[in-house]
Amino acid sequence: MKAILATVFCLLAPLAWAGGETPSNPDAEVYFVNLSDGDTVTSPVTVVFGLRGMGVAPAGTEKENTGHHHLLIDRPPLGQGEDGADELAYGLPADDNHLHFGGGQTEVTLELAPGTHTLQLVLGDADHVPHATPIVSEVITITVE
């Protein structure tokens, strides 16, 4: 039984960390256009999403090398945290820490409380699942005055 379980985990683990099933352009990049790690800003904060090497398409669009933006706020980097592996395999939740831009939007203006906040951009496929390989930005920390 132990041997069988070990085999199952060996098969599943690489898949879970590889993202979903939609292939990405592994050279694609998602990035913050107007913010850098360590910036101090005032609320409301406009965040502009940059993407090169792939295209933006609304959620539900099954088109090669496209996806829609997600903004992760104040949570561990994609793939980490309690639900990290599940998010890579099955998709991102939608809540205050996970904003979806399923209309194909490329910027947002946020009300953020004073203090420090982390932000990370993640591209998701038609079903909100990160691609294989996942296209993610660096995690930046900003301070809201």
Check binding of 134 to Cu ion (CB under 5 A): no
Are 134 and 23 in contact by the 8 Å Cβ rule? The answer is: no
**Two tokens at 143?**
């301070």
CA distance 118 to 102: 21
Which CB sits closer to Cu ion, 135 or 144? 135
Beta strands in 1-145 (DSSP E): 29-32, 40-41, 45-52, 55-56, 66-73, 98-100, 107-110, 115-124, 140-144
Return the number of the residue (117 or 128) whose C-beta is nearest Cu ion: 128
First to last CA, the chain: 56
19 vs 124, which CB is nearer to Cu ion? 124
Per-residue contact flags (x/-) with Cu ion for residues 84 to 103, judged by CB under 5 A:
----------------x---
Q: Supply the minimum distance, in Å, between the C-beta of residue 35 and Cu ion.
A: 21
* Dihedral over Cα of 59, 48, 145, 81: its sign: positive
* Candidate segments 20-28, 29-37, 106-114, 125-133, binder of Cu ion by CB under 5 A: 125-133
Query: Cβ closer to Cu ion: 102 or 112?
Result: 102
Size of the site for Cu ion (CB under 5 A): 3
Asked if 128 is part of the footprint of Cu ion (rule: CB under 5 A), the reply reads yes
Residues that bind Cu ion (CB under 5 A): 100, 124, 128
